[in-house]
Structure 1
Amino acid sequence: MEKILNKKMTQFAFFSMTASLFITVYEYPTFAMSGKSLIFFLLLCGICWFLPVSLCSAELATIEGYQEGGIYSWVGKPLGEKYGFASIFFQWFQVTVGFVTMIYFIIGTISYILGIPEINNDPMFKFISVVSIFWILTLLQLKGTETTSKLAKYGFSIGIVLPVILMFGLTIKYFLSGNQISNSFTHSSFIPKLNDISALTSFVLAYMGVEASATHFKELENPKKNYPKLLFILVLVGILMSTVGGAVVSMVLSGNISSNQGVMDAITKLISPGNISWPVKVLGLLISFGVVAQVSSWIVSPTEGLQFSATKGLLPKSLSKKNKNQVPVKILLIQAVVVTFWAALLTFGSGGSGGNIAFQAAISLTVLIYLSAYILFFVSYFVVVFKHKNLKRGFEVSGGQKVKMLVSVIGFIVSVAAVITAFIIPSSMSKESGKIYIILLAICFIITLSIPFVFYHFYSMPNKKKLEDNSKNQ
């Protein structure tokens, strides 16, 4: 992602950068499974989760002494270094799972337009495809991120925004031509039923990552006035694009919707039912390009926090080193190995049952890991509001302490609710598939939660003490 140094960031640049962090296409089929309820979920998560995260992170990011290290300082300063390290680990680690989710979508799309189902259905073929795509994109990063920053910008425009606009226009034409809205959509209700509440987890993911833009608060033109305004516009745009994309897939397709091929199924039905025509293939390639661009833009971004941890002695110092192109080679290679591990576990762990279990497990695990960081984030905000009222801020949630607590408590409750609902078997899964899904998700989540605390206890603390002793003896 392009960094604008020594000059103010325009409102459009800030908007584009933030939107590219969380607006995505690969979740539309997951949204579509909820029918009309997708509108309810997107409104709920947009207002009761997206805004609290954005507003609270804006305040934390502008407190004196909290700017360096991002969420490491936001959590570490109020709660202690151990929790700051855990939060930054979760923020990075969730991306390693998210990469698999995104590439699953790319593989499903390419498999569809090429007419080679084995790419998506055969576990070994799928695993090799995921690993190959990610390692190629990682190696491309070693020459610097300028090219991939541009790729991300254009990928968002022509790989996400353009396809959604075209899908909307094609849907209008489709229904004006006399086609009927699917029963899956018309027979669903706006208010979700109790057994559909597990979908909350996926809808929270629609807005995750937006807090990253708060670190650029000072670079924005007239930030105190423009930041809240841009947040409101981002909420509207995010809800609108996700609603349009999800609703199109839901209204056009009936029955079970494939998690990683649903978008292409909908596009095919809109353009040339029963025939994968060249316009379908072009749109598929554009969408794949958009997701590839998102993967590229995220490969280096989350490693900055790990580098900062290394400078504090919490990780080996060698991990903070960069090559001549300012790329942390060792961290990227470790990240690629971790992604390879997740790809193997999620692909083969689904028992060769096709794409849906692995895809849904990857999405849920991504959200659970990231939510672990957000829960720590909201707890730290509570502490700051109550115990550090007098710290200087460049921005703060208006309305006083009561409003601040109301905003953060709502965000915290939605975060906890999303964690709980992630362990409810989706109604679209069979009983047997649901068991595999829950076991796979629970094992991965428990292991992930323990990693930063075990690592901090057995490596970070002793290493930091060793560095401090060496410093005293010099």
Structure 2
Amino acid sequence: MALYSERSKWHSAQEPLASEEYVVKAMPAVLGTVEMTAFFIVIVFFITNANTASTAGPAALTYLVVGAIVFFLPSVIATAQLGVMFPYEGSLYNWTHKAFGGYWSFFAAFCAWFPGVLVMVSAADNVLAFIQGLNRQWVMQPWQQGLVIIGTLALAGLLALQRFRTVANVILVAASAIVGALVILGGAATWWLLSGHAPLSDFGEVEAWLPTLAPHGGNIATFGLVILAYLGAETPLNMAGELKHRRVITRHLCWGPLVVLLGYLIATTALLIVEGPTSGALLPALVATVDLSLGKMAGNLMAVCLIIFFFAAIVAYNCSYARLLLVAGIDQRLPAGVGRLSRSRIPARAILFQTLMAIILAALIFIVAPLVVHVGSPVDLTTEVYNVMLASSTLVWATSASFLFANLIMLALRNREAFHAQLILPAPVLWGSVVLGLLSSLFAVVDSLIFSWIPALIPNGSWWYIIGGVTCFCLIIAAIGSMFAASEADWQGLNGE
């Protein structure tokens, strides 16, 4: 039986959105707990964040646990609460509409959608990195890298256009592949120690586990990046209208976050033991860790697991974020055509649009920029442009994540009795999560503005202005776009479209 045959018990001041009824009637309910857990793992768990975390030494493990407590768990709790109250396609878009209305719903959705396109490029770049892990002499020039990334995005886009049951099976394979990769990493670290090697990080000093503030930031900069690594808890629920049962919402939010946290801890620990905090920062370090401990054959198997995982991550992001365009088109905040479904009952036009956008971004970063701008080496320029865009879009994403907590506050203020009647956890737990989530997301934004992601290429003093400027520009575009979207919806509504 399809989910949501009866309306939510919450009586909102907002009228029901057209997308709330359309999706459950037009799209098949194929996602169970296992599939949604797999989507959660593939979307949220970017294992390469362990490389960044490892630069802080054993303190990285402290940051991962604290970040999970102050941001990841609050985000999961907020997502579960909102998902139970409003189990509709579009997640944050729908929830923000209920709390703040049409303008802010489009703004929050845009701030979530825009980074998703760049994360698709980032995942394709990781596919390239692990292909190079098989042979480090392959694809050395930026234009060559750009062509491989574009080809990867195109292939992933074609896969995303298949029947959703097929796509869900691919995501299940990818989740299995990353679990296999973690088993290999854990085995590599264990064998390294059992074979008589000393860990290349000092785990015995208490100070190594603690945050440090030095003249240039110490390891505190890593904490902000760790918090940002936990973004995206709500993203799988963009497909909430396609769930088999309502209980899938809470069940996948129990298992998925547990796997993500354990995954980050295992990967970071393995890097610290075998590679050490400095070498672990390099992207191929995950494969090199296995190479050093278990040999080249195991390392190649590790690389293949990661290639499968990141290729499927592109598909998962494409499918999930296409649902934001879908519901916006159905609700007349974007041209209606973007919300049309293919014969397979998937938002094919939205998927094609996102794939094209990602390909254009990849071409600009890896091909056009090195050819047009002749400042320094092409490789450095590509790295600078890529990290500036990724950092700025991540901060925009963090802005959208803050709406998880703001929505709960507004909904409680609007109808306290109805809100508390649907609490899935005690009120003190929920409001503690709201406070922690808002404060930690603010800290992550400030931390990422102050400390450069690539200090060797862009110093902290310049980073602040560049990232702050680009982020503000993106938010202004989102604000202007939201005004047009709201006015378009009003105009079409008046004309009976």
- Judged with a 3 Å threshold, the aligned counterparts in structure 2 of structure 1 residues 469 and 111 are, in CA distance, closer, same or farther, namely same
2:493 and 2:36 map into 1 onto residues whose CA distance is 40
Correspondences of 1:111-150 after superposition (within 5 Å): 111-117=132-138, 119=139, 121-150=140-169
Alpha-carbon offset, residue 438 of structure 1:
5.0
1:183 and 1:403 map into 2 onto residues whose CA distance is 37
Q: Does 1:35 align with 2:35?
A: no
- Judged with a 3 Å threshold, the aligned counterparts in structure 2 of structure 1 residues 233 and 318 are, in CA distance, closer, same or farther, namely closer
**What is the identity, as a one-letter code, of the residue corresponding to 1:91?**
A
Could you state the TM-score of these two structures normalised by the residue count of structure 2? 0.82
Superposed CA RMSD: 3.2
Alpha-carbon offset, residue 449 of structure 1:
1.1
Q: 1:51 aligns with which of 73, 85, 93?
A: 73
Residues 117 and 358 in structure 2, CA contact (< 8 A), matched pair in contact too? yes
**More deviation, 228-237/50-59:** 228-237
1:186 and 1:356 map into 2 onto residues whose CA distance is 35
Q: Which residue of 2 aligns with 1:466?
A: 491
Q: Which residue of 1 aligns with 2:319?
A: 300
- Judged with a 3 Å threshold, the aligned counterparts in structure 2 of structure 1 residues 217 and 466 are, in CA distance, closer, same or farther, namely closer
Q: Which residue of 1 aligns with 2:100?
A: 79
**What is the identity, as a one-letter code, of the residue corresponding to 1:324?**
R
CA displacement 1:59-105 (0-9 Å, x = unmatched): 222336x7353211211222221111011112221111111221221
Q: Does 1:182 align with 2:200?
A: yes
Q: Does 1:374 align with 2:401?
A: yes
SS of corresponding position for 1:280: helix
**More deviation, 75-84/352-361:** 352-361
**What is the identity, as a one-letter code, of the residue corresponding to 1:263?**
L
Could you state the TM-score of these two structures normalised by the residue count of structure 1? 0.85
Residues 258 and 356 in structure 1, CA contact (< 8 A), matched pair in contact too? no
2:225 and 2:292 map into 1 onto residues whose CA distance is 25
1:227 and 1:145 map into 2 onto residues whose CA distance is 19
- Judged with a 3 Å threshold, the aligned counterparts in structure 2 of structure 1 residues 230 and 99 are, in CA distance, closer, same or farther, namely closer
Q: 1:91 aligns with which of 91, 99, 112?
A: 112
CA displacement 1:8-56 (0-9 Å, x = unmatched): 945x555444333322322221121121111111111211112211222
Alpha-carbon offset, residue 222 of structure 1:
8.9
Residues 452 and 463 in structure 2, CA contact (< 8 A), matched pair in contact too? no
Residues 88 and 240 in structure 2, CA contact (< 8 A), matched pair in contact too? no
Structure 1 residue runs without a partner (length 5+):
none
Alpha-carbon offset, residue 165 of structure 1:
0.9
**What is the identity, as a one-letter code, of the residue corresponding to 1:23?**
F
1:393 and 1:220 map into 2 onto residues whose CA distance is 26
Matched residues, percent identical? Answer: 16
Q: Which residue of 1 aligns with 2:283?
A: 260
**What is the identity, as a one-letter code, of the residue corresponding to 1:370?**
W
CA displacement 1:183-208 (0-9 Å, x = unmatched): 47677721221312222333224332
Q: Which residue of 1 aligns with 2:225?
A: 202
- Judged with a 3 Å threshold, the aligned counterparts in structure 2 of structure 1 residues 228 and 74 are, in CA distance, closer, same or farther, namely closer
Residues 199 and 426 in structure 1, CA contact (< 8 A), matched pair in contact too? no
- Judged with a 3 Å threshold, the aligned counterparts in structure 2 of structure 1 residues 298 and 219 are, in CA distance, closer, same or farther, namely closer
Residues 91 and 373 in structure 1, CA contact (< 8 A), matched pair in contact too? yes
**More deviation, 91-100/184-193:** 184-193
Q: 2:261 aligns with which of 219, 235, 239?
A: 239
- Judged with a 3 Å threshold, the aligned counterparts in structure 2 of structure 1 residues 15 and 466 are, in CA distance, closer, same or farther, namely closer
**What is the identity, as a one-letter code, of the residue corresponding to 1:322?**
L
SS of corresponding position for 1:161: helix
Q: Does 1:211 align with 2:229?
A: no
Structure 2 residue runs without a partner (length 5+):
1-23, 371-376
Q: Which residue of 2 aligns with 1:105?
A: 126
- Judged with a 3 Å threshold, the aligned counterparts in structure 2 of structure 1 residues 125 and 6 are, in CA distance, closer, same or farther, namely closer
1:189 and 1:322 map into 2 onto residues whose CA distance is 54
Alpha-carbon offset, residue 232 of structure 1:
5.3
What is the total number of aligned residue pairs between the two structures?
A: 457
Residues 46 and 235 in structure 1, CA contact (< 8 A), matched pair in contact too? no
